[in-house]
Amino acid sequence: MKIKVINPNTTASMTQKIAETAIAVASSGTEIIACNPEMGPVSIEGHYDEALSVIGILEEIKKGEAAGIDGYVIACFGDPGLLAARELAKGPVVGIAEAAMHAASFISTGFSIVTTLSRTRIIAQHLVANYGMTHFCRRIRAIDLPVLELEDENSNARKTIFNECRQALAEDGAGAIVLGCGGMADLSAQLSQDLGVPVIDGVSVAVKFVEALVSLGLNTSKKGDLAYPIAKPYTGMLHAFAFVNQMPSD
Ligand code: 2AL
């Protein structure tokens, strides 16, 4: 099967890191196609970045549908454009935040999220509520480092994340940690080992969830609100985004 893993920001080094993580967990019969949009923010650190990233994500989904992709991962912790992507896609689309939170709820009774900038905590908070995870999420913590610091080998991001996770375990009553950024995808194994609790990277679990759904023949429901978008003209710069070709439904 073919799974397209979309890094919603346009930083190629982060896309590469996400690709390596996805390939490492994928089954032998799974082809991972990792990409980032051509246009959009270099990092997603707020509502504005998130809103503008969605156009590029949808372009990648549209290209994926033409290329026969079986399922998608949206690899940014805000799960930007998730429902819009599901409208466009035949197969399953899974966001890394929903994947990580659901996985954490299977293996602990409470988790803490460790994310990047404080201003993005509200995005995670909205998702926790939306996904029915209020019962499980103990606390949303921020390390207050910009997303692109995670790409800098010389930054102290790793140490800062480790310390925040340790504090979460000491103070929050959490049994697991959810990493709150796609750029943290390479850190979960080492952190799990060092901290002695499950530290969950959403990229890995989202790939495995998509594999499970595709292999069970479970596609996005095309009944109701996730049906293909309504064909109508789009004006101005968004002219090319009008949905014109009704995808074959089954
Ligand atoms: C993210 C993420 O996962 N990728 C990105 O650019 N911004 N979210 C976050 N909270 O740091």
Burial code (b: 16+ CB inside 10 Å, e: under 16) for 68-102 equals ebbbbbbbbbbbbbbebbbbbbbbbbbbbbbbbbb
Instruction: Look over the chain and give the mean of its residue pLDDT values, rounded to a whole number.
Output: 96
How does residue 126 score in pLDDT terms, banded at 50, 70 and 90?
very high
Percentage, residues of the chain above pLDDT 70: 98
Q: Output Rg (C-alpha) for the chain, integer angstroms.
A: 18
Q: Nearest residue CA, atom 4 of ligand 1?
A: 76
CA of 45 to the centre of ligand 1 (A): 6
Tell me the whole-structure pTM to 2 decimals.
0.96
How does residue 7 score in pLDDT terms, banded at 50, 70 and 90?
very high
Q: Nearest residue CA, atom 9 of ligand 1?
A: 181
Pocket of ligand 1 contains residue 181 by CB under 6 Å: yes
pLDDT recorded at residue 250: 38
What is the Cα–Cα distance from 8 to 78, expressed in whole angstroms?
10
CA of 177 to the centre of ligand 1 (A): 16
pLDDT recorded at residue 248: 45
What is the Cα–Cα distance from 192 to 198, expressed in whole angstroms?
5
pLDDT recorded at residue 244: 86
Mean pLDDT in residue range 111-137: 98
| 175-184 confidence digits (pLDDT tens) | 999 999 999 9
What is the Cα–Cα distance from 200 to 196, expressed in whole angstroms?
12
pLDDT recorded at residue 214: 98
Around Cβ 193, how many Cβ atoms within 10 Å?
Answer: 9
Pocket of ligand 1 contains residue 100 by CB under 6 Å: no
Query: Quick check: 247 pLDDT over 80?
Result: no
User: Which of 76, 125, 144, 150 maximizes ligand 1 atoms within 8 Å of its Cβ, making it the mutation to test the pocket?
Assistant: 76
pLDDT recorded at residue 21: 98
| 28-70 confidence digits (pLDDT tens) | 999 999 999 999 999 999 999 999 999 999 999 999 999 999 9
Pocket of ligand 1 contains residue 95 by CB under 6 Å: no
Position with higher pLDDT, 246 vs 64: 64
User: Which of 15, 17, 45 maximizes ligand 1 atoms within 8 Å of its Cβ, making it the mutation to test the pocket?
Assistant: 45
- Can you tell me which atom of ligand 1 is nearest the CA of 184? 3
Query: Quick check: 249 pLDDT over 60?
Result: no
| 77-91 confidence digits (pLDDT tens) | 999 999 999 999 999
- Can you tell me which atom of ligand 1 is nearest the CA of 120? 10
Percentage, residues of the chain above pLDDT 90: 97
How does residue 131 score in pLDDT terms, banded at 50, 70 and 90?
very high
pLDDT recorded at residue 215: 98
| 185-239 confidence digits (pLDDT tens) | 999 999 999 999 999 999 999 999 999 999 999 999 999 999 999 999 999 999 9
User: Which of 5, 6, 9 maximizes ligand 1 atoms within 8 Å of its Cβ, making it the mutation to test the pocket?
Assistant: 9
CA of 50 to the centre of ligand 1 (A): 9
Q: Which two tokens stand for residue 203?
A: 């990229």
